Chain A
Amino acid sequence: MSKNVRLRFSVGEPGRFISHLDVLRLMSRAVRRAGLPIAYSQGFSPTPRLAFASSLPVGVTSAAEYVDLQLNTPVEWEQVKNRLNDVLPDGFRILAGAALPEKYPPLMSLITTARYQIKVLGEAPDLEKKTADLTASGQILASVKRKNKEEQVDVRGLIDSLAYDPLQRLIELQCASGVQANLRPMDLLPLLGLELRDVLIHRTDLLIKAGAGRLLTPFDV
C-alpha cells in the first residue's frame, strides 16, 4: 500500500465538454464524496493534492487520462478506484491504477506523446490520399490559436504518424502532446477538409518517449 496513487481514467459523454479546470474541480469533489484521506496543500486556501498528466481539449473523449493522488494514509489503489467509481458523475470512469513511490517526478513534465482515433461521421472523400500527402510533405502549415490569435504554424515536426483506415472510417494520429510541444488534433481537421462536427476525436494513449524510440505508459515509469 502506498500513500501515493496513480490512476488512469476515461472521459466520455458528457464529460468531454468541460474544461480542464472543471475536471480538476470535479475530481476534487469526487475525492471528497468518496471520503478518501486526501492530503491538502498548505497555505491560505488549502486545495486537495491532485496532479493531472495533461489537459484534454474540450470536445475530445479519452481512454487515457491520468491523475496522481497524495493521501494522508495508505490505501490500496483498487480501493481508491472503486470508491471513486461509486461517486463519479457520468462521463468519468477510473480504469486502472498503480501505487507510486514516496518521491516521483510530476507526470505532466514527463508526457511527450498522445495517440488519437478520429472517427469520421459524414462524407469525407480522398481521406486516404489527403493523409498520405500530408505525411509525405516536409512542411504542414496549420492555423493554430495562440493567446486568442490565429497563427500559421508548421506542425510537421509534431506529427509522428497520420493514416486513414477507410474500413473503420478512422484517422489514426500519433503526435506531440505535453508541456514541451503540443498539437491539438482539431487543428489538423481543416487540412483534411473536415469540420469539428464531422468527427469524434478520441484519445487512446498518453505516452512518454524513452530512448531508442521506445514509448512508455505512465504506469511503466
Chain B
Amino acid sequence: MKQELLRILPEVSKPARYTNQELHAVHKDWERTAVRMALAFPDTYEIGMGNLGFKILYHIINQRPDALAERVYMPWVDMQQKMKEQDLPLTALESGKPLADFDIVGFTLQYELSFSNIVKMLDLAGIPRLSAERGSSDPLVIAGGPCAYNPEPLADFLDCVVLGDGEEVINELLDLVKHCKEQGIGRQAALLKLAQIPGVYVPRFYEIKYTDQGTIKTILKTEDSAPDRIQKRVVADLDQAPFPDTMVVPYLQTVHDRVMVEVMRGCTRGCRFCQAGMIYRPVRERSVETVKKQALELLDKTGYEQVSLTSLSTGDYSKVERLVTELAAECRMRGVSVSLPSLRVDSFSVKLAEEIEKFKKTGLTFAPEAGTQRLRDVINKNVREEDLYEAVEAAFSSGWHLIKLYFMIGLPTETYEDLDGIAALARNVLEIGRRSMPTSGKRPTVNISVASFVPKPGTPFQWEAFNDQEVLLAKFSYLRKRLKHPGIKFNTHDVRTSYLEAVFSRGDRRLGRVLARAVDLGCQFDGWNEHFRYDLWMQAFRDACVDSEFYAYRRRGADEILPWEHLLSGVSKKFLWLERERAYQGITTDDCRFSGCTGCRVCQDLGVANRLQGGEQIE
C-alpha cells in the first residue's frame, strides 16, 4: 500500500474500505498483463461489494492470463477530503494504481441516483469527464447494468455502453481493446470497431435532434458502420455460464456479506412496473446440482456463515423445494444458514422459509405492491388478497411475529380507494396476527413500506407520468393517518429523490449538462439521505436551462420517439404498448412459463428460450 495512503487511513471512517489485501483478492503482475480493466462501482465499498455482477466479471477477467480486473469504489466524503489535501488521485484497490492508468474503466449502472457519483469518480481520478475530451492516453470509459437500457443522460460521459449479460460480451471487448492497443489503433478507430460488437453502444456515433416542443425528432447515425439499433446480449444457458469459484471476503462488514449463488436469471411474471422483469428475459435456471456444487465450494473457500440463493424471485425457481431442502440439510452440518432474498406472496413460500429458518424467525417480507385487486390487475401483480392472508396466517402461526409489506403509490389509474385498500390490508394482516399468534410472548407487528412509483424505460409504463410531488405528499399523509395504529409501522421514501430518479430514468442527453453542473455544485451520494441536496439539483436544472418537469410529469404519446428507441432489450415496443392498454382495461397477462407465449418477442428475436429445470415449460 502507498505510504501516503497509510498515513491518512487512521483519520478516515471505516479505513478498511481502502486497504485492499482481502482474502481472495486477485493481484496480478501489472507490467506483464496486456489489458487492464478497473471495475468501478459508483457507491461505497460496502454497497459495491454486495454486487454479484461485479464478482462474476472480476472472475471472468482475472481468469484470462492476458487481462486483469481490479476494483474501485466511491470514497466516502471524509476520504475525498483527505485525498484532496494530499493531492492523491483515485486509485484501484489491488495495485494501488491510479484509475487513469487503466485501459478500461467500467462503471456499473445500478440506479439513476448514482449517476452523479460516476462523474465525481472521473473527477477524482483526473480522467476528463467528457468522452469527446479524452485522448489516446486516457482509459476507455464504459458502462453496463440495468440503467444501460437508457444511458442517455450519461451519453456524453461514456465511450461505450454494454447492453445485456456482461459475461457474453466481456471477452470480445477485452480481445478488441488488446488488439487496438497492440496495433496502436487510435481512439476513434477503436470505438468504430467496438461499435461492431453486438450489444455494444457507442453514443458518440448517434446524434439526437429535437422538435420545438422539446421531444425527440430523430436519432441519427453519424457513422455508417455503426448499427441502427443495439440489441442486448444474452446468456442462453445459465447452467454453463461462468460463475466465480471463489469470492473476495472483505475485512469489514458489507451488504450481502455472504455467499451468493444465482439460481436463475430473468422473470416472466410480467409485472408492468418492473424493469428487471422485462429487461432480463427470458428465464434461465441453473440446475440444482450446479447451484449446490457452487454453494458448497464457495462456503468452503470463504468460510461464510450464510449462503443466499439469489434471483429476481427465487420462490419461482422450478426446483426450489428440492434445492432448499437438500442445501439446508448440508448447511446445517456446517453451521451455515441459507437465505432466500425474495419471497412470493403465498403459503408455499412461508413453508420454504420455515424450512430454512427453523429457529430464528425475525421478519418475513411480502410485496403486494397495490392495495386493491383492481389496481393489482392493472399492474399485473398477480397476487390475490386471499394469497396474502393465507401466507401471513401461515407465517404468524409458525412463529414469525413481524410481517413487512411493500407497496407503491402513484401507479397509473390509482385512486384514494386504492390507498384505503393498503390501510385495510395492513389492518387485516395485523388482525390475522392477533388471531393466529399465541397470546403469550411477542405481539404481531406489521411494517408497511411505501415508495413512489417511478416509470422505467423498457416497461409497459414507460409512457406514464410520474405523480406530482404535491399529490404524492398528500397521498402519503392520507395513508399515514389511516395507518396510525398500534402494531403498524409506516415507512415512506423521500418523494424528492423519487422525483430525481423519475427525471433521469427517462432522461435524454440534454440532462448531461445538468448532471455536470450538479456535480460542480457539490451533488454526490444522491441515494444517501444525509447527502442528497434537492436544492442544489434544482439550481443545476435552472443553471442548465432544463425543465425537470418535462421529464418527470409528462405522459408520452404512442408515437413519440423515446430517448432509448435505438436500444433494445428484446421485449418489443408493440408488446409493451399492448401491455399498457391491457393495464388500462384491467386485463391481466399470464406468466409464459405456465401458459402459452405472451408475444413479448424476446425468444423469437434473440434466438433463446426459457430454460427451466423442472421441465414445465409450455411451447
Contacts and interface: CB of A to CB of B under 8 A. Distances in A.
Interface of A: 13-15, 17-19, 21-22, 25-26, 28-33, 38, 40, 43-46, 48, 58-59, 87, 89-91, 121, 196-197
Nearest to A87: B303
Given A32-B335, A44-B360, A13 B19 contact: yes
B139 to A, nearest CB: 26
B252 A19 contact: yes
Given A89-B23, A91-B21, A45 B359 contact: yes
Contact of A33 (B1, B6, B20, B300): B300
Nearest to A15: B251
Contact of A28 (B1, B10, B301, B303): B303
Size band of the B side of the interface?
A: 20 to 34
A33 B304 CA distance: 8
A17 B16 CA distance: 5
A19 to B, nearest CB: 7
Contacts of B11: 196-197
A29 B22 CA distance: 13
Interface in B1-53: 1, 6-11, 15-16, 19-23
A40 B331 CA distance: 14
A197 B10 contact: yes
Nearest to A60: B10
Nearest to B359: A44
B6 A13 contact: yes
Interface in B40-74: none
B249 A29 contact: yes
Nearest to B7: A197
A45 B360 contact: yes
Contacts of B253: 21-22, 25
B181 to A, nearest CB: 32
B15 A33 contact: no
A73 to B, nearest CB: 15
A26 B251 contact: yes
A32 B15 contact: no
A48 B249 CA distance: 18
A119 B110 CA distance: 44
A87 B334 CA distance: 17
B417 interface: no
Contacts of B6: 13
Given A17-B19, A33-B303, A45-B359, 15 more contacts: A14-B21, A15-B251, A17-B9, A18-B252, A21-B253, A25-B253, A29-B302, A29-B305, A32-B304, A32-B335, A33-B300, A40-B335, A43-B359, A87-B303, A197-B8
Interface in B338-378: 359-360
25 contacts: A14-B1, A14-B16, A14-B19, A15-B251, A17-B10, A17-B15, A18-B16, A21-B253, A22-B16, A22-B251, A22-B253, A32-B335, A32-B336, A33-B301, A33-B303, A38-B335, A45-B360, A46-B335, A58-B10, A58-B15, A89-B21, A89-B22, A89-B249, A196-B11, A197-B7
Contacts of A59: 9-10, 15
Contacts of A89: 21-23, 249, 251
Contacts of A17: 9-10, 15-16, 19, 251
Interface string B280-313: 0000000000000000000011111100000000
Nearest to A30: B303
A29 B21 contact: no
Of all A-B residue pairs in the complex, the 7 with the closest CB atoms, nearest first, are: A14-B19, A29-B303, A33-B303, A32-B303, A17-B15, A59-B10, A89-B23
Given A17-B9, A17-B251, A89-B249, A33 B19 contact: no
Nearest to B20: A14
A87 to B, nearest CB: 7
A46 B332 CA distance: 10
Nearest to A197: B7
A87 B7 CA distance: 28
B251 A28 contact: no
Contacts of B9: 17, 59
Nearest to B82: A197
B246 to A, nearest CB: 11
A89 B19 CA distance: 12
A29 B304 contact: yes
A33 B335 CA distance: 12
Contacts of A22: 16, 251-253
A26 B251 CA distance: 7
B441 to A, nearest CB: 14
A13 B19 CA distance: 8
A14 B253 CA distance: 15
B331 to A, nearest CB: 12
A94 B301 CA distance: 19
B249 A31 contact: no
A89 B335 CA distance: 21
Contacts of B359: 43-45
A59 B359 CA distance: 38
A21 B252 CA distance: 9
Interface centre among A15, A30, A87, A197 (most CB of B within 10 A): A197
Contact of A196 (B10, B20, B335): B10
Contacts of B249: 29, 89
Nearest to A27: B303
Contacts of A25: 253
A197 B5 CA distance: 11
A43 B302 CA distance: 24
Contact of B334 (A18, A26, A32): A32
A87 B300 CA distance: 11
A32 B337 CA distance: 13
Contacts of B305: 28-29, 32
A121 B335 CA distance: 45
B542 to A, nearest CB: 39
Contacts of B303: 28-33, 87
A200 to B, nearest CB: 9
A10 to B, nearest CB: 15
B335 A90 contact: no
A17 B252 CA distance: 9
A13 B252 contact: no
A87 B302 CA distance: 9
B502 to A, nearest CB: 37
Contact of A13 (B1, B23, B302, B336): B1
Nearest to A57: B10
Interface centre among B6, B15, B16 (most CB of A within 10 A): B16
B259 to A, nearest CB: 11
Nearest to B250: A22
Nearest to B23: A89
Nearest to B257: A25
A174 B23 CA distance: 34
Contacts of B21: 13-14, 89-91
A1 B87 CA distance: 56
A30 B7 CA distance: 28
A162 B210 CA distance: 74
